[in-house]
Amino acid sequence: MAGGEKMRKLIKFGHSMTAITFLGSVVVLWVFHQQLPSPSEALEVYVAQRHAMARIASLVLMPSLLISLLFGMASMAVVPGFHSAPWAWAKLVTTVLMLEGSLLGIQSPIQREADRALAALSDATLVNGLATKLDAEQWSLVLIGFVATVNVALGVWRPQFRSSATPAP
């Protein structure tokens, strides 16, 4: 196996593994969301789960997405066939959407809620302000999970994206 081929396979492996890790962390965060107790009934458990979610988001979700983006960009750089492949550019666009959506719709809200939950342990008046945006967080997870799935599908099936003016061969 030539050195270039080894590099391509290594990059592909790294990209696949980080994509799996990212999508897996989205699923784990969604499961955590489904298991959150009411803060007014079990504040300590709510705080612990929120902090676990914040750690997953900051230590697994975001790093895996960023590393996947880097592997994908490296792949585009070393494989000349990807330079003009519409599916590769579509993957880049969906990855940027995942990055922005994950920062704004998943990681930041989870971290803010974890901080609020911790503060509620020492100030009971803050409990009523917790768990007010659970639906928005859950929908962000579903939407980003869907975009990530589309991203993976683009890499697996590599559609041609023909224009309607160009007849198929």
Listed range (1-10, 122-131, 133-142) with the worst mean pLDDT: 1-10
Task: Flag whether pLDDT at 95 surpasses 60.
Answer: yes
Q: Check: CB of residue 92 under 8 Å from CB of residue 85.
A: no
Reading phi first (left if > 0) and then psi (alpha if -120 to 50, else beta), residue 162 is in beta
Q: Is residue 169 part of a domain?
A: no
Q: Residue 128's domain spans which residues?
A: 3-157
Q: Give the pLDDT score at 4.
A: 83
The predicted-structure confidence for 25-46, as pLDDT tens digits, reads as follows: 999 999 999 999 999 999 999 9
Task: Flag whether pLDDT at 11 surpasses 80.
Answer: yes
Q: Is residue 118 part of a domain?
A: yes
The predicted-structure confidence for 47-92, as pLDDT tens digits, reads as follows: 999 999 999 999 999 999 999 999 999 999 988 989 999 999 999 9
Q: What is the number of domains present in the chain?
A: 1
Q: Is residue 165 part of a domain?
A: no
Buried b (16+ CB within 10 A) or exposed e, 123-161: eeebbeebbeeeeebeebbebbbebbeebbebbeeeeee
Q: Give the pLDDT score at 2.
A: 78
Q: Which of 115, 114, 95, 109 is nearest to 139 (CA)?
A: 109
Q: Is residue 168 part of a domain?
A: no
Q: Check: CB of residue 23 under 8 Å from CB of residue 145.
A: yes
